[in-house]
Structure 1
């Protein structure tokens, strides 16, 4: 037991600690947003979610558990609490997700480890084989700063940079809680940086997961796999889709086609283009904070949360809505964001945005609060003056058949 009074410690959008009670409340709030269970009482698809503790991976896990009765395994890479620091926010979110799964009777477990490693792949494959035999669905949702190649041992580091030319990016910053417009000059990436980012954020590891599962004959007939991606606006294109991250996303899409060739008609792979969201990954990208704050103001009631989008994706995967794809074979969840009228309104505000007007034209306070929620802070109803238990165990799977 380790009860502590915790205060938020952050530099900009990066928090060095998380709040267990707040993280639990965030998961509960997301759980309430998920649609009610379907009328069919049969067990849901056996699913492997890689990146189940945050962002769209967490949302897909919660919707899969509550609405579609999925079974299977979630994988995350989270740090436990120490004498000096709290556990990572994803650790606490996973602990609560496991409790909710148990309450529904779901046969779903969690593995903590580096999904890029052969060791975690082997352990996951063994668990799935022992518990379920075959899997129906793999959701791949990883955003990481580095990846160690399990074959060569080389450590690749991703960078967020434009390609071709330098780029001056508008940024949203807060000085003593007051929103201000700043500017950041980003140097163009060299070829080594572009390639390293592709190695981390592209489709290489996704394909290796398919290979690991296929080598053990664990892919059920009609198997499907999806990898989460993003396209975004032409406003953010220089630093996103036309930058190093965009090169990685293009590799992800190319990998989907390669996986389809490997599956030879026994299954299908697709990338899923999600809409904008406030995630731990997106807050690291210059311009995204300002863009998202403006977009949230413009979109209003049409704004789609990660849970909204995960529910739409699951409906398509379950066959309720059909798996419509675009001309590049991608599943699109971003129509609300890419609506031409929405984009025109965002562009108009973006072009004239300055420190004097930004608080009135963008949802800056909302954005700042959303960033805090990623770590369990700024959650309504949580008393942050009360000591919280920081030493929370990683969920232990029940024996097979329980």
Structure 2
């Protein structure tokens, strides 16, 4: 075990080190915001496979599955262990804390593996088949910059670009102590870049997981699978929904419709879930999203819905405690609070007026900066950042599910 004095080592939105106690405290808060158990315990509890369980909506869905429903199953994440130069990743520490909060009687394990790989699928399915039998729910919440096709071996790298024409957008910058509004011009993606982004962020891997479960006869009657997605405002659309990421999201939605047809004979269902805005490691990499989210937070204040609240709403719908709220495209919508016309109107007004000089009165940049730091365990009240920290934290369930 290693005690270290840790410094963030950050520049803007990027942090070199994660703080173990801070990451644990973030999970503690998420756990407390999640409703306590209402579902059956023990062998009667449903079985869930959550792919992307260590961050963002995947983490919130995992915590809700455990705290509210006592679910059995498996969470998969791809996280970096500690090295001589750096701490483990924030997701490593969050996963360890999640397992601790679930308790020693929890029948939910965690696998540290590249979910895109054939080896991860084989190990995960073997664990599920041996321990549980069939699966009731699969939640797919993966955000990654690249994907290796498990069949061809080709490496696809995603890009964040508009389609068709160049696009100039406002951005939020944290290069110094005072945030500022800058601008960035993005050149359009070519066909190869668009296709690569679809291969990384679209529905190809989600379908491979469903096919693999079906081949092993691991899909339970009434099985429901969802993939997390986002639509967002027309302010961010040119670089998001109408850009390369949007092409990938469209592929994800097309995949959901295809899977729905495949699963119907089993009484199963497949949907994409349009979540509301959130500060995640993936979203901070998208130009204009940081500024938009800061403005949205200033408009909504505490009405800005947390991932915990949205995950609780999602699970109520998946378990049948509440009816599915579907739009015309058959997507589950969790973003009504964000896409409300009055809310969007107010954000549009602030966006048009946002400059470096007006930023402080229009946007909640302090909140956004804090949220980014919390992704790595920083800026968490009650955490002693001056004291040495125990950075060597074991991955949970290592004896039950091997690490790849």
TM-score scaled by length of structure 1: 0.97
- Structure 2 residue matching 1:232: 3-state secondary structure: coil
1:203 is matched with 203
2:245 is matched with 245
* Structure 1 range deviating more: 257-266 or 49-58: 257-266
- 1:179-258 to 2 correspondence within 5 Å? 179-258=179-258
Question: In the TM superposition, what is the alpha-carbon distance from 1:176 to its structure 2 partner?
Answer: 2.5
Counterparts of 2:308 and 2:123 in 1: how far apart (Å)? 29
Counterparts of 2:252 and 2:183 in 1: how far apart (Å)? 30
1:79 is matched with 80
- Structure 2 residue matching 1:182: 3-state secondary structure: strand
* Structure 1 range deviating more: 105-114 or 169-178: 169-178
1:61 is matched with 62
* Structure 1 range deviating more: 294-303 or 123-132: 294-303
Question: In the TM superposition, what is the alpha-carbon distance from 1:321 to its structure 2 partner?
Answer: 1.1
Question: In the TM superposition, what is the alpha-carbon distance from 1:264 to its structure 2 partner?
Answer: 3.2
Counterparts of 1:285 and 1:324 in 2: how far apart (Å)? 28
1:319 is matched with 320
Counterparts of 1:191 and 1:176 in 2: how far apart (Å)? 37
Counterparts of 1:124 and 1:361 in 2: how far apart (Å)? 47
1:306 is matched with 307
Counterparts of 2:89 and 2:400 in 1: how far apart (Å)? 27
Aligned CA distance change for structure 1 residues 94 and 354 (closer, same or farther; 3 Å) = same
Question: In the TM superposition, what is the alpha-carbon distance from 1:187 to its structure 2 partner?
Answer: 0.4
2:37 is matched with 37
1:211-253 residue CA offsets vs partner (Å, 9 max, x unmatched): 1100000000000000000000001000100000000000000
Is 1:14 matched up with 2:10? Answer: no
- Structure 2 residue matching 1:82: 3-state secondary structure: coil
Counterparts of 2:61 and 2:40 in 1: how far apart (Å)? 19
Counterparts of 1:35 and 1:303 in 2: how far apart (Å)? 18
1:371 is matched with 372
Counterparts of 2:301 and 2:173 in 1: how far apart (Å)? 22
* Structure 1 range deviating more: 10-19 or 90-99: 10-19
- Structure 2 residue matching 1:246: 3-state secondary structure: helix
- Structure 1 residue matching 2:238: 3-state secondary structure: coil
1:277-320 residue CA offsets vs partner (Å, 9 max, x unmatched): 00000000000000000001111232100111000000111111
Question: In the TM superposition, what is the alpha-carbon distance from 1:399 to its structure 2 partner?
Answer: 6.2
Q: Is the 8 A contact 2:41 2:69 kept in 1?
A: no
1:340 is matched with 341
Question: In the TM superposition, what is the alpha-carbon distance from 1:40 to its structure 2 partner?
Answer: 4.7
- Structure 2 residue matching 1:327: 3-state secondary structure: coil
Question: In the TM superposition, what is the alpha-carbon distance from 1:68 to its structure 2 partner?
Answer: 1.1
Q: Is the 8 A contact 2:60 2:307 kept in 1?
A: yes
1:106-139 residue CA offsets vs partner (Å, 9 max, x unmatched): 2000000100000000000000000001000000
2:169 is matched with 169
* Structure 1 range deviating more: 201-210 or 170-179: 170-179
Counterparts of 2:18 and 2:287 in 1: how far apart (Å)? 23
- Structure 2 residue matching 1:264: 3-state secondary structure: helix
* Structure 1 range deviating more: 34-43 or 223-232: 34-43
Counterparts of 2:9 and 2:299 in 1: how far apart (Å)? 31
Question: In the TM superposition, what is the alpha-carbon distance from 1:29 to its structure 2 partner?
Answer: 0.7
Counterparts of 2:214 and 2:39 in 1: how far apart (Å)? 32
Question: In the TM superposition, what is the alpha-carbon distance from 1:41 to its structure 2 partner?
Answer: 4.6
Which blocks of at least 5 consecutive residues in structure 1 are unaligned?
A: none
Counterparts of 1:215 and 1:377 in 2: how far apart (Å)? 43
2:330 is matched with 329
Question: In the TM superposition, what is the alpha-carbon distance from 1:175 to its structure 2 partner?
Answer: 3.7
Aligned CA distance change for structure 1 residues 399 and 374 (closer, same or farther; 3 Å) = closer
Which blocks of at least 5 consecutive residues in structure 2 are unaligned?
A: none
- 1:351-370 to 2 correspondence within 5 Å? 351-370=352-371
Counterparts of 1:144 and 1:397 in 2: how far apart (Å)? 24
Counterparts of 2:400 and 2:179 in 1: how far apart (Å)? 51
2:125 is matched with 125
1:80-118 residue CA offsets vs partner (Å, 9 max, x unmatched): 001111001100000011111125x32000000100000
1:269 is matched with 270
- Structure 2 residue matching 1:115: 3-state secondary structure: coil
Counterparts of 2:36 and 2:76 in 1: how far apart (Å)? 25
